[in-house]
Structure 1
Amino acid sequence: KNEITFKKEGELTLFRSKDSVIQTLDIEIADNDYERETGLMYRHSMQEKQGMLFVFKESKPRYFYMKNTNIPLDLIYLDDNYKIVSFQKNAKPNDETTLPSHANAKYVLEINAGLADQWTLKVGDSISY
């Protein structure tokens, strides 16, 4: 299978709850069924300051898994106010175990595993894109 290359579709900024910028990322946006189902499958790497933002129509509990995903990831679940509600850190490549949000989420940001801790992201931090 051909490598799927990253396609920058926007920029996303992570903010501390007190409005200081944590990090700015280039993002791909998954906002239709096909893109949300495919996500980062079949890719073999992603740059540190790249990520994929999943955009859903409504806020509800989300369940992700790592089927056909070759990159270890941190999953960041966000509510309809763009605030972090929960994490699933260090999701293992190709693991089909369910990774629940444990909260209502409208957005899910996937970044390379370890970055959520490296950037000390916390529940209540937010994004804009």
Structure 2
Amino acid sequence: MRFVKMLLPATKWILNVTFCLYIAGCGNRASHSTENTSAGNTAATPPAVTDNGPQFKKEGELSFISKTNNDTLRKIDIEIAETDDERAQGLMRRRSMSDEQGMLFIFSEAAEQSFWMKDTYISLDIIYIDDKKEIVSIQKYTTPQSEESLPSYKKAQYVVEVNAGFCDKYHIAFGDRIAFTKQP
């Protein structure tokens, strides 16, 4: 019995070492599979793919201008949606966006607008702007993937979408204005 008690710790140690060597060997096999993949062997496991959705494409710059003193409150890079297809796509399937980015929707004329969040994964502030480029309403902290209608309540010719909380963080409010330029 005393001999068995002495063997038990040694057996555990041997099993642990064997298990570690086995795992290390499996790691080498995985590394070998990756090498085969890069050499053109398609039978190996493909590398993991992360989908961050469509990438931001800078197409201009937009400034938010204070109604009280005409100071620039914040300047951002914008992606522009001015065709029906671009406006329908909007920020759908986008997984992230920085505070220095946003999307500007341009309509041919001012009308009451209504947006929704279907297939949009990030919460947004939706800023409705009239034909004089003045903010007429804001829908803050929208619910991702919601099909709830988010109306402008007033006529808007432009709409800017930015990350949720942007308007609170940079003090963007009703009556402030925007100015934008498109890249050539």
Q: Distance in 2 between matches of 1:3 and 1:54?
A: 19
Determine whether 1:104 maps to 2:151: no
Determine whether 1:46 maps to 2:97: yes
Q: CA RMSD in A?
A: 1.0
Partner of 1:13: 63
Task: Please state how far the C-alpha of 1:121 moved relative to its aligned partner.
Answer: 1.1
Q: 2:164 aligns with which of 92, 113, 124?
A: 113
Given the two structures, how large is their TM-score scaled by the length of structure 2? 0.69
Relative CO higher for 1 or 2, CA cutoff 8 Å, sep ≥ 6? 1
Residue 85 of structure 1: SS of its match in structure 2?
Answer: strand
The 5 A counterparts of 1:1-129 are 3-17=53-67, 18-129=69-180
Task: Please state how far the C-alpha of 1:2 moved relative to its aligned partner.
Answer: 7.1
Alpha carbons of 1:70 and 1:16: their partners in 2 closer, same or farther (altered >3 Å)?
A: same
Between structures 1 and 2, the one with greater helix share: 2
Amino acid in structure 2 at the alignment position of 1:13: S
Task: Please state how far the C-alpha of 1:3 moved relative to its aligned partner.
Answer: 2.1
Count residues with an aligned counterpart.
Answer: 129
Between structures 1 and 2, the one with greater strand share: 1
Residue 35 of structure 1: SS of its match in structure 2?
Answer: helix
Alpha carbons of 1:115 and 1:62: their partners in 2 closer, same or farther (altered >3 Å)?
A: same
Percent of residue pairs bearing the same amino acid type? 47
Given the two structures, how large is their TM-score scaled by the length of structure 1? 0.97
Partner of 2:9: none
Amino acid in structure 2 at the alignment position of 1:104: K
Amino acid in structure 1 at the alignment position of 2:59: E
Q: Distance in 1 between matches of 2:70 and 2:52?
A: 40
What stretches of structure 2 of length at least 5 have no aligned partner? 1-50
